[in-house]
Structure 1
Amino acid sequence: MNLFVLAFLGGILGAVLMDVTETVAARAGISSGVNVALVGRWFLGLTRGRLAHADIRDSQPLPGEVRAGWAFHILVGGGGVALIYPALLQFAGPLLAAHHVLGGVLFGLATSALPWFILLPSFGWGWFGQRGPQGSNALLASPLSHIPYGFGVGAVIAAGSAF
């Protein structure tokens, strides 16, 4: 099967694994403070030319923000990896190509930088979410949820490459 298709499917599975992990981690007291409505509010704001918020929790809720948040999450999780991970495999060479699950986990860990340096500052919460909601810990929550994301990517590519 085509590597781009496998990466896309792996990204979708990874996004689901990420969501499950975030739910379990939140019950254990580990949360970034991010929720799907806030992601949707941010994404819809982007479509209207607004990149950043003073504090996104104080921004006016937008119609359809929950649906938009889910769509954005799945499209970035699947589509982003479909474009980036195959290029990374070409760059990394045979080492990662022979170990897709390890490569996926490392890729997932690296994607922790996206919320730390793009999403959370755009929410008005600063680098690593240091000004996020009280009790949140984005520094820990992000890699904790992105590792299963990468596992999903790597597992699907490994399984699909076996055929």
Structure 2
Amino acid sequence: MNNLLIIVFIGIGATTLMDLWGILRQPLFGIPKASYGMLGRWTGHMAQGKFRHNSIGSAAPVKGEQGLGWLIHYLTGIAFAALLIAIWGESWLQAPRIGPAMIIGIGSIAAPFLIMQPAMGAGIAASRTPSPNAARLQSLITHAVFGLGLYASAMLVQFFNAV
């Protein structure tokens, strides 16, 4: 199978597992699902030259922000899968190991902590949210699940290549 196709599959698989975790944690722990509409709103405003907001929730809605947010969310997952292969090489695709997947998964927390949250008005690492430590812990768990998803998706590719 083409490596680009494999990377897309791994990125989508890992992001899907992360989203399933987001759905599961709502009834289990009472934690609401992530709103990717706000990601779409933020991205939509970039096209108009606005990159930072005091509160993305107060910013003017952008047409199609929900769909745009989901698209960006999945493209980001694919980009992190590509980063994993760029760093560990094609050999990782042949023999996936959990360590590199977890490094990328947990390391991907830098994007929301240092870029998205500050630009959306939540501060560095959710420092301007009502419960920053709870938000940080949930982000850490969610990104660890993404790392597990990178590994599990790569193992699934291996399984189907062997069949």
Please give the TM-score of this superposition, normalised by the length of structure 2. 0.83
- Alignment of structure 1 residues 134-145 onto 2, 5 Å: 134-135=130-131, 137-145=134-142
Deviation for aligned residue 1:82: 4.2
Q: Unaligned regions of 5+ residues in structure 1, if any?
A: none
How many residue pairs get matched?
A: 158
Residue 109 of structure 2 corresponds to 112
Q: Is the 8 A contact 1:21 1:148 kept in 2?
A: yes
Higher RCO, 1 or 2 (CA under 8 Å, sep at least 6)? 1
Q: Is the 8 A contact 1:8 1:82 kept in 2?
A: yes
- Cα RMSD of the aligned pairs, angstroms, is 2.5
Residue 83 of structure 1 corresponds to 82
The answer to whether residue 50 in structure 2 is matched with residue 50 in structure 1 is yes
Could you list the per-position Cα deviations for residues 29-87 of structure 1 after superposition, in whole angstroms to 9, with x for gaps in the alignment? 456x8511111101111222211101111111122111111111111112x13431111
Deviation for aligned residue 1:156: 2.1
Residue 156 of structure 2 corresponds to 159
Return the alpha-carbon distance in structure 2 between the equivalents of residues 96 and 149 of structure 1.
Answer: 17
Q: Unaligned regions of 5+ residues in structure 2, if any?
A: none
Distance 1:99 1:83, change over 3 A: closer
Return the alpha-carbon distance in structure 1 between the equivalents of residues 63 and 91 of structure 2.
Answer: 47
User: Identity rate of aligned residues, in percent?
Assistant: 27
> Please, which moves more after superposition, 20-29 or 68-77?
20-29
> Please, which moves more after superposition, 120-129 or 136-145?
136-145
